[in-house]
Every structure is written in C-alpha cells, then in structure tokens.
Chains A and B, each alone.
Chain A
C-alpha cells in the first residue's frame, strides 16, 4: 500500500519537499547539538528539561487521543466515526514516533540509549514509559495497516485484530497515565506532585488530539476527493468530545489552583504564582500563560454555542484556540515551570535557543511527513474504492 505515497499531485510534492527541507536544517542543528553537547540548548542546571520533553508530553496526548475515535466506534458501534477511525490511528503513529524522537534528542548520550533495555530498571517510570510507547506504536501500526488493507480488498478485517483493537483502548489511556507518572511521583516538584496529574493529562489530550484531527479532516476534505465526514455529523460528534474534554481540563486546572492557593502552603503555590503573576522580577511566562487562559475560555465558548460550533470558520477558530491553549499549558509551561522556583527557592528562567527550536521543528516536520504519507495511503485507498 505504501506505493500510494509515491505518486501525487504537484502540490503534494511541494509540501513533501518543504518538510524535507525543514528536516534537513534541523538535522544540521542536531548534529551541532550532538557534537557540542546540550549546552547549545537553553536548558540549565536548574531547568534541566525544556522544549524537547515538553513536546514529548504534549504529543503523548495527541497519540493517546486516537482512542476517542476507536472507543465509540468499536465499543459502542458508533458508525459515524467509521470513515475517520483510520485517520485517528494514522495520527497516533507519527505522534508516538515524534515522542520517541523528542526523547532521543533530549538525551545527553544518545548512543547509549540501549542501556535502558540492557539494564532494565523496573523501579523507574521511564522504563514503563518505554514499554507502553513501543507497544502503542506497534498496536496502531498493526491495527491501522490491517484494517486498511482489508478495506482495500473489500473484505472485513481479520478476526485476530479485534482483540488488539480492544487492547488499544486501555493501552492509549496507559501511555498518558504513565507519562503523567513521570512527573507526578517526584518529591519536591510541587507543580507536578499532584494526584490528578494523569487525569489532567488525559483531559487535555482528549481535547487537543481530536481538535487536531478535526482540522486534519478539513484539510483532507480540501485536498482530496475523500470526505471523512460525508454528512453524517462525525465532526460535530467529535467537537462535542473536544468540548467536554476541554471543560474537564479547565476544571481540573482550577482544582489545582484551589488546593495550592487555599491551603496557602507556599511551596505548592510558588510555581503557579510564578506562572500567573511572575516572581522576583521574572515574568517571561506570564503573558504566555494568560494567553492560554484567554484561548481556553474562547475555545470553549466557540464550541458551546451552536451558532459558532456549526459555522466552519468560527469552529476552526475555537479548535485552534483549544490546541494552542493546551500546547502552551502542556507543551511548554508545565515542564519548564516545574523547575521554577528551584530547590533553593530561586527563580532561574529558561528560554529555548534557536538551535533547540530548529531541532524541534525538524521533529515536528518528520511527524507531519509521516502523517502526510500515511494519510496519502489511506486517502488513495478510499478514492480507489470510491471509483
């Protein structure tokens, strides 16, 4: 089926070339980092994780969000998602691969990565994260490829994939739960030391992930003859999922704010005070965080009112607001501010360097290239069937 990605329109090839160019630039930037060490990034002794790990966290959510299509379609026989499920699975695969790449580019000694398998440490959450991510990648590859292959032949999916599909549902939840456990089990990092971290992660994932998927569906509809939602209201159903997930996400955040501020324990509220109001003359995250707050509420509003939800233009604005708000929260601030103030109650700020940003963009481009290829295959199969 892969050969479908080798023939396309001129626009398709321009897009692929553009992505390859960004990847090439990022590769040069990564070689610079590889040869000179992580000193070329903005990370420091105090803020020892930055943009890379934050993107990893955000993208685990995107990967897990495929379950929001798989679960209704396969468990509740929600037929509306029939055409879209494959797009969800084919979004999860590049998302997991991007997660893995972000971990690799974050390592100080990437050549030693196999030590994680050579010296397995079941007391480390990282060990479980490796297992669940690899497993999730495999599950989605098998399920996506097999169901699409069967569809191409006009046959029902083989019976043996059914249990794997069912397994993918709890597995999707597990990848984001384990990722939350990376942070939520660390003593002394008060922003992360929260029992609802995994719940927050899942809520934000189920908002941002399907929102991205809806936008991708719009693009698919525009550039191809395949319509993922041929008037059945699949997108509007997904919009409802995004809306409730985002409301839950904001609600969980408010729970965090209440506990931190009402208990009045200074260590608990310190990172939040830094994020929302700045601390000791350091304000770099304040405007960004408030932007996220505004966008979160704007996004929810756009998705609540039927008039704005049904209108494609305002719907896109709402979805973009939600994606950006979640990205700011999870793909930037949560990780960085977990280290601020540091263990000595000093505020040391972090800002990514150009080199770091180029590497990040390249990893995203690799992901987008994979999305493009996988979607191209899926769309071609569908178009072939339609003819």
Chain B
C-alpha cells in the first residue's frame, strides 16, 4: 500500500461526507406526508389588533380583592408556590406605588399613597425588548399584541429576563410540579429550566372568555382592544388620565393605570 496516513484519513473523510451528504439528498427528495388539511381559529376566538388592560385600583376595596385576582390567575395557570422567594414564579402580583412606579421618588408624598398597592403583570409591550433578545423566538409577539411564550422552544438562557425592564418574567429554577397545591387541567405545567410570564390568557380568549384576573376583578381590571375606538379600554385611555410603568423606555406598555379611578365609560 502506497498511501500514507494523511491520505488514508482524507479519503475516509471524503467517503463519510459523501455518504452523509447523499443520505440528506435522498431524504430531501422523499415525498412529504400529505394530510390535506388546514388550520383555523376557533369560532369563539376573540379577534383584536392590540389587547390592552386598564388597572383601576379604586375598585379594589381590600387585600382580599387583590388576592382573589392573583389566586384566579395562578391557580388556572398552575403557577407554583415556592417557599423560597429566590425560586419565586409570579404572573400577576401586587406592589406598592413607590416601587411599581419606581424612579419618580417624591419625598413629600403621603405615606398612604406611597404604600398604596398596585396590580403588576407583564405589560405586553408594543416594542417588547424580551422578544428582541430571545435567540430562539421562544418568546414572540402575536398579531393581537400579546407577548407569548412557547415553552417548547425556550432554552432557558434568561436573556429575556435581563431584557425586561419590568421584572415581569420568572424562571423555573426548580421543578414546579411538587409546589402546585391544586392542579388545574385548563393549562399545562412547565418543565424546569424555562421562562414564563403572564400570557393575557390567550387560551381563554380563544374560547371567547375574558382573562381570569379580569373576570375576578369586580371591574378593577378592564380588558379590551386598544385599536377599537369603541372599546372600553380605548375610551378610558383616550379620555382619562392614565399612567404606565417606565414609559420613557419606549417599550409602549399595554397595561395602563387609571389615576383617580371613579366612574368610567
């Protein structure tokens, strides 16, 4: 044999590459499976251009009213309760005025106002930095404005958590299942190692239902299509004074906080 080792390796490599390459070609030419079928939206599906929420804290009379809302969401979506805040997962929660609208500290603000509670959740921004950051499009923006998560695709890099300026995202540091008190069959649980957050209940919108939190809020959370001039959210946002969290960052949050509350359209 007059070939040296280098030539031998080179030829072996070429044969391997040829084999792998041709197997790709063969599978490429194979007929695609043919299920003459299609997909459509559910009949009850509620269409919208931009889902948005108005939070009217004047309608929440007590702690219990807020807990009811949080409970409804977290129970429905199988959000676990971890004893350790380090692993905490939350989709909707409450925080005080001072921290929710961080940045504009006013030292003369009345203690009562400063510590008055606000409901906080994912803002479903129009320009979501989390979607921009995601390297796999596991988090993406739907045509109706909802910033959704595809738990199947998330690799758990947590770039979205660094990108979100609102602290809306949680990561499954541990297996959530042992920490779910009451399991809901309406929504799957999550696998460890993926990021999750509020999804504006898109699974309920597809069934023609309002988000779970809105349903339990006694009118404190108003939900609708901001693009529809006749929707309640649009009427409130266009005629009343509302504020949003960190508007200066240009993400255009879709959660508005009604100042003063009271009667609205």
Instruction: Count chain A residues whose beta carbon lies closer than 8 angstroms to a beta carbon of B.
Output: 46
The interface of chain B, by Cβ under 8 A from chain A, is 85-89, 95, 99-100, 102-103, 105, 129, 131-138, 153-159, 161-167, 170-175, 191-195, 246, 249-251
Instruction: Among B87, B132, B153, B249, point to the contact of A112 (Cβ < 8 A).
Output: B153
In the assembled complex, the CB of B171 is this many whole angstroms from the nearest CB of chain A, namely 6
Is B129 touching A108 in the complex (CB atoms < 8 A)?
no
Assuming the contacts A38-B173, A188-B246, asked whether A344 and B191 have C-beta atoms less than 8 A apart, the reply is no
**A contacts, CB < 8 Å to B:** 36-39, 41-46, 48-49, 103, 106-110, 112-113, 115-116, 118-119, 121, 123-127, 130, 182-183, 186-189, 266-267, 338-339, 342-346
Q: Which one, A46, A49, A182, contacts B167 given CB within 8 A?
A: A46
Would you call A116 and B135 a contact (CB within 8 A)? yes
Whether B193 pairs with A343 at a CB distance below 8 angstroms is: no
CB contacts (< 8 Å) of A112 on chain B: these are 136, 153-156
Q: Do B154 and A109 touch across chains, with their CB atoms under 8 A apart?
A: yes
Contacts of B136 in A (CB 8 A): 112, 115-116, 118-119, 121
Alpha-carbon separation in the docked complex, A112 to B191 (Å): 13
Distance between B252 CB and nearest chain A CB, rounded to angstroms: 12
Contact status B95-A187, CB under 8 Å: no
Bound-state CA distance A110–B174 (Å) is 15
The reply to whether B162 and A127 form a contact with Cβ atoms under 8 Å apart is no
- Whole-angstrom distance between the alpha carbons of A41 and B193 in the complex? 12
Are A107 and B155 in touch, CB under 8 angstroms? yes
Q: Which 3 A-B pairs have the closest CB atoms?
A: A108-B156, A188-B165, A108-B193
CA distance A107 to B136 in the complex (A): 13
Which residues of chain B are within 8 angstroms of A107 by Cβ–Cβ distance? Answer: 155-157, 193
Bound form: Cα–Cα A109–B135 in Å: 13
Main secondary structure of the interface of B (DSSP, over half): loop
Contacts of B137 in A (CB 8 A): 119, 121
Q: B192 and A187: CB pair below 8 A?
A: no
**Residue from A119, A126, A339, A345 within 8 A of B157 (CB atoms):** A126
| Interchain CA distance A188-B85 in the complex, whole Å | 22
Nearest-CB residue, chain B, relative to A342: B167
Give the complex CA separation of A46 and B162 in angstroms. 9
* Most chain B CB inside 10 Å of its own CB: which residue of A182, A183, A266, A345: A345
Expressed in whole angstroms, the minimum distance between the Cβ of B159 and any Cβ of chain A is: 6
**Which of A110, A119, A182, A188 contacts B153, CB < 8 Å?**
A119
Q: Which of B88, B99, B155, B191 contacts A116 (CB 8 A)?
A: B155
A110→B155 CA distance, assembly (Å): 6
Q: List 24 A-B contacts (CB under 8 A).
A: A36-B175, A37-B175, A38-B173, A38-B193, A39-B192, A41-B173, A43-B173, A44-B87, A44-B173, A45-B89, A45-B171, A46-B167, A106-B157, A108-B157, A108-B192, A108-B195, A113-B155, A115-B153, A116-B155, A130-B135, A188-B164, A189-B162, A343-B166, A345-B103
Min CB distance A74 to B, Å, is 28
Q: A108-B154, A187-B249, A188-B249 are in contact. Are A339 and B86 (CB under 8 A)?
A: no
* A-side contacts of B154, CB under 8 Å: 108-109, 112
Query: Which residues on A sit within 8 Å (CB–CB) of B153?
Result: 112, 115, 119
Pick the residue among B86, B134, B172, B251 that contacts A108 (CB under 8 A). Answer: B172
B161, A39: Cβ atoms closer than 8 Å: no
Q: Please name the residue on chain B nearest to A42 by beta carbon.
A: B86
B residues less than 8 Å from A44 (CB atoms):
85-88, 173
Question: Cβ of B165 and Cβ of A343 under 8 Å apart?
Answer: yes
Complexed CA–CA distance, A343 and B169 (Å): 11
Q: Is the CB of B129 within 8 A of A109?
A: no
Query: Who on chain A is nearest to B95 by CB?
Result: A344
Check B102 against A343 for contact (C-beta < 8 Å): yes
**Structural contact, A109 and B155, CB atoms closer than 8 A:** yes
Q: Is the CB of B105 within 8 A of A108?
A: no
User: In the complex, which residues of chain A have a beta carbon less than 8 angstroms from the beta carbon of B170?
Assistant: 45
